[in-house]
Amino acid sequence: MINIILIGFGAVGQGVAELLYRKKSEIERLIGKYRVVAVCDSKGSVIDENGLRIPDVIERKKKGAFDGKKSIEVIETLDYDLMIEVTTTDVHSGEPGLTHIRQALERGVNVVTSNKGPLVVAFSELNRMAEKKGLRLMYEATAGGAMPLIKLAKNDLAGNEILFIKGVLNGTCNYILSRMEKERMTYSQVLVEAQELNIAEADPTYDVEGIDAAAKLVILANSLMEMDSCFRDVEIRGITEITPEAFEVASTRNYTIRLIAEANREKRILKVSPRLVPFHHPLAIRGTMNAALIKTDLAGDVVVMGRGAGKYETASAIISDMVEIYRKRYE
Ligand code: HSE
């Protein structure tokens, strides 16, 4: 029996809980029996060591914040095998996720997270800690949401050297730029629309100033290209100064503008900036989609695209990490 604690119960946390409930028989066919023994939000928790009934937890949450033990106490005292950490990202302090992940690894349990903050702030420390203890720390959802990227590069491209990655890693910016391209609207007119899609960060400056894309780039550079980088290493320019006229000029030469994140180890490039992209290039995708072009020494160019945000999309990446951890043990 895999005992799970779920830390964070916003949109992503609720998406994960719903999938763990709704897809229980499919997931158990892959990994064996599991149960959720605790769910925490920022105020407290609900706990049942025999397994919580998720619809009851969601109903309970509708009535307000949880009032049981605080997340840190749950992490330190309960008996469990896997922590799913989906609290809000803070790329500067990494908290509260950083403390949660440190404590869980310290206690000897596997961790799956969608929280970019802890990995941006302490990538090597956390990975070394997990490795030393023979634990798994999985974070597919942190960079590109449901777009298969980290496991694809680590598993399916194993043996390749990744020479560079260029990607559209922020759905909010891509939506704004796509709308500006099509309707020639101004940046501020479209921002409100983008926020209504519920994929923007709690603080949308994280999106439009390129901070969210830079955080994802640090995680990709460190996990797939051994660049040992930190947030300060990224040269960042967001999309706030892009005008509708810029699209006009670009389109006369069959180009559009996208916020491109680029990591290149040999050239020591770590950069997020608006770039001209030919209309028919794979990175000229529209709407809230994410895309990445991975240049490798053996497989050549590999292009992936998918949904970089959203309740169930992000939860999908978390479930796939969980299956990756436990599948082998039960095969
Ligand atoms: N706010 C992000 C985006 C989603 O718009 O892509 C989560 O990283």
CA-nearest residue for atom 4, ligand 1, is 309
From the CA of 213, how far away is ligand 1's center (Å)? 8
Q: Which atom of ligand 1 is nearest to the CA of 314?
A: 7
- Percent of the chain clearing pLDDT 70 (strictly above): 99
Under the banding of pLDDT at 50, 70 and 90, the label for residue 191 is confident
Nearest to 223 by CA among 155, 307, 290, 312: 155
Q: At CA 322, angle to CA 316 and CA 324, rounded to 5?
A: 105
- By DSSP bridging, strand 235-236 and strand 255-264 are unpaired
User: Three-state DSSP class for 52?
Assistant: coil
> Does pLDDT of 331 surpass 60?
no
The per-residue pLDDT for range 204-253, each reduced to its tens digit, is 889 999 999 999 999 999 999 999 999 999 999 999 999 999 999 999 99
From the CA of 17, how far away is ligand 1's center (Å)? 20
Q: Is there a contact between 287 and 309 (Cβ–Cβ < 8 Å)?
A: no
Q: Give whole-number Cα distances, 195 to 188, 191, 262, 320, in Å.
A: 11, 6, 25, 27
Beta bridge partners of 270: 263
pLDDT, position 324: 95
Residue ranges per domain, the chain?
A: 2-145+311-329, 155-307
From the CA of 201, how far away is ligand 1's center (Å)? 6
> Which residues, other chains included, contact 23 with Cβ-Cβ below 8 Å and sequence gap of 6+?
319
CA dihedral 36, 38, 42, 44 (to 10 degrees): 150
Number of helices (H), then strands (E), in the chain: 13, 12
The H or E element containing residue 289 is: strand 289-296
pLDDT, position 329: 54
Under the banding of pLDDT at 50, 70 and 90, the label for residue 195 is confident
For residue 208, the Cα-to-chain-centroid distance in whole angstroms is: 17
CB-ligand 1 contact for 313 (6 Å cutoff): no
Average pLDDT, the chain: 94
Under the banding of pLDDT at 50, 70 and 90, the label for residue 34 is very high
> Which residues, other chains included, contact 250 with Cβ-Cβ below 8 Å and sequence gap of 6+?
256, 257, 276
Q: Which atom of ligand 1 is nearest to the CA of 207?
A: 1
pLDDT, position 328: 64
Nearest to 123 by CA among 142, 145, 104: 142
Please list the alpha-helical segments (H only) found in the chain: 11-22, 24-31, 54-62, 71-77, 97-106, 116-132, 150-151, 171-183, 187-196, 205-208, 211-225, 244-252, 311-330
> Which residues, other chains included, contact 76 with Cβ-Cβ below 8 Å and sequence gap of 6+?
103, 107
Q: At CA 182, angle to CA 181 and CA 187, rounded to 5?
A: 50
Under the banding of pLDDT at 50, 70 and 90, the label for residue 330 is very low
Beta bridge partners of 306: 290
Beta bridge partners of 272: 236, 261
CB-ligand 1 contact for 310 (6 Å cutoff): no
Architecture of domain 2-145+311-329: 3-Layer(aba) Sandwich (3.40)
The per-residue pLDDT for range 259-292, each reduced to its tens digit, is 999 999 989 999 999 999 999 999 999 998 999 9
**Residues tagged active-site:** 216
57-89: buried (b, 16+ CB within 10 Å) or exposed (e) per residue?
Answer: beeebeeeebebbebeebbeebebbbbbbbbbb
> Which residues, other chains included, contact 128 with Cβ-Cβ below 8 Å and sequence gap of 6+?
none
Q: Is domain 155-307 in CATH 3.30.70.1400, yes or no? A: no
Could you give the CA distance from residue 223 to residue 168 in angstroms, rounded to a whole number?
A: 18
Q: How many residues does the chain have?
A: 331
